Amino acid sequence: MSATRTVVICGGGVIGLSSAYYLLQRGHRVTVLERGGADRDCCSLGNAGLISPSHILPLAAPGIVGQALRWMGDPESPFHVRARLDASFLSWGYRFWRASNAKRAHRAGPLLRDLNLRSRALYEDLAARAGNDFDLSRDGLLMLFRSKRALDVEALHASRVRELGMPVELLGADQVATLEPDLTVDAIGGVFYPLDAHVTPQRLIPTLARLVVEGGGRIAWDAELTDWRVERRGIRAAITTQGEVCGDEFVLAAGSWSAAIARKLELRLPLEPGKGYSLTLERPRERPRRALLLEEARVAVTPMGASLRVGGTMELAGFDPRVNPRRVRGLIRSVLRYLPAFREEDFAPVRPWQGFRPLSPDGLPYIGRTRRFDNLAVAAGHAMMGLSMGPITGLLIAELLSGERPSVDLAPLSPDRYA
């Protein structure tokens, strides 16, 4: 291991806190800069909580552009783009289109498998250390289908998952009922991924923050990064609303805001915020035993303690914090189609949550050092897999900054790939 370093991490979500945790384990001094307060909201808190080794396709998958165009005419569809004449958005869109091909997706499969499987194992270690304060559940993921066409498409994906050495089961309607005996389901069948898992995000993030502080790390709340102090090829300090914070190494892990922060360093880090929504029922009529994906609707349904979280949609509208009622209505109606015991009035008292997922053009995260600066690493752009890949990303950053050989090849994840 290299000598002890002072590391400044910009971002206090699951990626930043995971990085801090593993850096502290290697003996480094760590400060996490978080622009929100200790009671903040962020994308790491309101998501579906899925840990998904089965997710071997990046967001930029074959056919996604055509599917997105078909969805555009439906105001309640899972996908929506607000057209805007913005150079960075148009550039991102062009790169996304270029990346959405079978060759790239096939090449990404083994990498996404390795990242998610390693992360799942690290979650097990974290759960053992923290007394499973964040409700790690290893009961798998059940995808439900209402059309034969969609089930047939997923069967092809399942065959690719098997090729990569992971178990998968194709189920008929009766087998779905056996797997979920407490749930009323309207589906023709399902696909079960036994290695998938889930956590309760609003318990995970405070647990990580506690482990960081217990490990000797510092979290600076309400410390929004406004600029950098740079000398030639090195960053000397992060300038925040709480003053300057000096360090030997810096990690950019600010989610969807990472691109704007990188621009202050004249770095190009294409990211588009993809707004997602979730609704949490505190006393659901029925509760599944494992996480579900309502596949045609692209909606996740996750049991979290006694509650039930419904999450989904992808809305490309920049950093618009407003809740789109049509997207929320689409979420609710999707649940009612697949799980007919639920009623629309069940969701009436629920306040919708929204957050911004950081989307890279090719659907892969940015993890690694930049060529421009000797002491800057990036950990951002995980799209819908930020929570799933949080621990492995943190471990890779810790290995990199400690002078170790990263346990996963970082070349395809280079933050300079669009430089």
Q: What would the pLDDT profile of 26-67 be if each residue is shown by its tens digit? A: 999 999 999 999 888 888 899 999 999 998 888 877 777 777
Report if residue 379 sits inside a domain.
no
Residue 389 within a domain: no
Task: With residue 68 as reference, give the H or E element that holds it.
Answer: helix 64-71
The Cβ-side half-sphere exposure at 289, using a 13 Å CA radius, reads 13
**Strand (E) or helix (H) holding 239:** strand 234-240
Which of 15-19, 31-35, 98-102, 262-266 is the least confident region?
A: 98-102
Dist. CA 281–CA 286, nearest whole Å: 10
- The predicted-structure confidence for 343-371, as pLDDT tens digits, reads as follows 999 999 999 999 999 999 999 999 999 99
The verdict on residue 400 lying in a domain is: no
Question: 283, 328 in Cβ contact below 8 A?
Answer: no
3-state class (DSSP) for residue 283:
coil
Q: Residue 393 corresponds to which amino acid? A: T
Quick one: tokens of 403?
């002078």
Q: How many CB atoms neighbour CB 372 within 10 A?
A: 15
Give domain status of residue 254, yes or no: no
Per the domain annotation, does 187 fall within a domain? yes
Contact between 207 and 133 (Cβ < 8 Å): yes
Q: What local confidence, expressed as pLDDT, does residue 287 receive?
A: 96
* Residues of the chain by 3-state class (helix, strand, coil), percent to 5: 35, 25, 40
Rounded mean pLDDT, 102-110? 89
Domain annotation covers residue 165: yes
pLDDT for residue 2: 66
* CB neighbourhood size of 336 (10 A): 15
Q: How far is CA 141 from CA 69, 259, 314, in A?
A: 28, 32, 21
Instruction: Judge contact between 20 and 10, C-beta under 8 A.
Output: no
Helix spans in 216-324 (H): 258-263
At 95 the pLDDT is: 93
Task: Give the structural domain span for 314.
Answer: 57-86+132-197+272-359
CATH code for the domain of 319: 3.30.9.10
CA distance to 41, 192, 361, per residue, from 70 (Å): 33, 28, 20
Looking at per-residue confidence, does 145 or 106 come out higher?
145
Whether 351 is covered by a domain: the verdict is yes
In this predicted structure, the answer to whether residue 77 has a pLDDT above a threshold of 80 is no
**pLDDT score of 61:** 76
In a domain, residue 148? The reply is yes
What is the predicted pLDDT for the residue at 62?
A: 77
Per-residue pLDDT at 205 exceeds 60 = yes
Average pLDDT, the chain: 93
Query: How many domains does the chain fold into?
Result: 1
